[in-house]
Amino acid sequence: IGSFPVDFEWSVSSESFKVEGGWAEHGKGETIWDRFSHEDRVFENQTTDLACDSYHKVDYDVYLLRGLMAPNYQFSVSWACIFPTGRKESLLEKAVAYYDKIIDTLLQSSIEPTVALHHWDLPQALQDAGGWENDSIVEAFKEFSDFCFSHYGDRVKTWITFGSPWVVSNLGYGTGEHPPSGKDPIIVTHNILKSHAEAWHIYNDNYRKLHGGKVGIALNSDWVEPRNPSSDQDVAAAERYLNFMLGWFAHPIFVDGDYPAMLKEQIEKKKDLCGKELARLPVFTEAEKQRIQGTTDFFGLNHHTSRLISESLNSSSDWIQSVPWGVRRLLNYISLEYTSITKVPIYITGNGMPTEYNGDVFSDTERVDYLKAYINEAMKTVHLDEIDIQRFTVQSLMDGFEGPQGYSQRFGLHYVNFEDPDRYANNGSHSLTAHICA
């Protein structure tokens, strides 16, 4: 039905540790993902060492973007690349120049850069001091974001403070599926929220007038439906799921500077149940609440799938199922709960699904259908529901290092041959490319 508004923004994405490689080059600092992969904790012991070799292929990556006619490219900077120890004293000029080159090359091709300050790859040196569990990291993140705004801000107009921070808290410091396998997701979320707010204030106070850009956060969330819609327990379970996945971050930022009441109650209940110091939700002071509330210029959403939730069954498979109508419901929910309070546009900052490549036949049909259907549902949300969505970002520009799954899950619009030491895409084209741009 119809088309998107003329000023609607299209983007494709990548993340530093998934594509850059060059992991120890020029004195770059180790990240927690370098460490994790070197400890043989990834599928087939694959590592971040070379990845897509984007560290040496700025021109080629931009050539791929031009081929897609992408008006915008969303990528993340690696903190450990710019500040190897995580602190500004360790500034690495060569790494700073690498991101200068990406940004300048993009702009020469009329492609707008969108930069994420943090997408999972914490400097190992900061992790050695406790990482996101140590509240002194708030100061370190302020320093890093201030540097990025001051150095790149004349050319970068859209900033994302954190990409999918729920994953950092819950997989990095909860289940341990991701590094650093820390212990306290509750404190981690607390420190990430404060870091986000401080970065936004730095931009707002010192750079907004000068550069006129936007700073927001990109939250990841599934949509959930109660398995039995007429069961009060299932409905409550679905609501809890959304509160723990999305509300934990979104409520403080978009609503009132504080955690959702339902989350507080649930954590208290769990504490009573377990009878130990398992969960202690930190309390924001009034000053902290004021400092956090409203610190965003857009609602960034990373979304991949929907799930059925019941009282007894808390989460089904992790696999990404195609449920296109779920994105429309989620966008309506976000509008109702969050962007009707802090009035900012929604940016879809990541949507896509992987193909598993069995080394033989490569079929993208399912992914093509997935993207078409999700994009169509986003359009319905714009036109029929009149929700202010201004951007859609397809994840990803190319296949890359997908965390514990290594290179076995392919999200790329471009295929990457990881057997090829040069890492150039096969013939530079890929079936999806043609379909999406048609």
Ligand X SMILES: *[C@@H]1O[C@H](CO)[C@@H](O)[C@H](O)[C@H]1NC(C)=O
Residues that bind ligand X (CB under 6 A): 40, 44-45, 129-130, 134, 136
Shortest spacing between CB 33 and ligand X, in angstroms: 17
184 versus 225: smaller Cβ distance to ligand X: 184
Shortest spacing between CB 128 and ligand X, in angstroms: 8
Q: CA 255 to CA 90: how far, in whole Å?
A: 38
Shortest spacing between CB 137 and ligand X, in angstroms: 7
Token digits of residue 416: 């990457």
127 versus 339: smaller Cβ distance to ligand X: 127
40 versus 356: smaller Cβ distance to ligand X: 40
Three-state DSSP class for residue 163: strand
- For residues 201-224, one letter each, b for 16 or more C-beta atoms within 10 angstroms of the residue's C-beta and e for the rest, the string is bbbeeebbeebebbbbbbbbbbbb
183 versus 270: smaller Cβ distance to ligand X: 183
Q: CA 361 to CA 326: how far, in whole Å?
A: 30
Shortest spacing between CB 141 and ligand X, in angstroms: 12
182 versus 354: smaller Cβ distance to ligand X: 182
Q: CA 140 to CA 137: how far, in whole Å?
A: 5
40 versus 154: smaller Cβ distance to ligand X: 40
Nearest partner of 397 among 96, 152, 57, 160, judged by Cα: 57
Is residue 385 within 8 Å of 19, Cβ to Cβ? no
43 versus 424: smaller Cβ distance to ligand X: 43
Residue indicated by tokens 């069961």: 231
Cβ atoms within 10 Å, residue 360? 5
Nearest partner of 165 among 136, 185, 145, 137, judged by Cα: 185
Q: CA 49 to CA 316: how far, in whole Å?
A: 33
Is residue 191 within 8 Å of 135, Cβ to Cβ? yes
Is residue 144 within 8 Å of 82, Cβ to Cβ? yes
Nearest partner of 192 among 238, 253, 146, judged by Cα: 253
25 versus 135: smaller Cβ distance to ligand X: 135
Shortest spacing between CB 36 and ligand X, in angstroms: 12
Token digits of residue 415: 């295929």
Shortest spacing between CB 180 and ligand X, in angstroms: 12
Shortest spacing between CB 314 and ligand X, in angstroms: 32
Vertex 164 angle, CA 235 and 419, to 5°: 120
40 versus 385: smaller Cβ distance to ligand X: 40
Shortest spacing between CB 138 and ligand X, in angstroms: 10
Beta-strand relationship, 355-356 and 409-410: antiparallel
Shortest spacing between CB 276 and ligand X, in angstroms: 21
Three-state DSSP class for residue 222: coil
Q: CA 165 to CA 179: how far, in whole Å?
A: 13
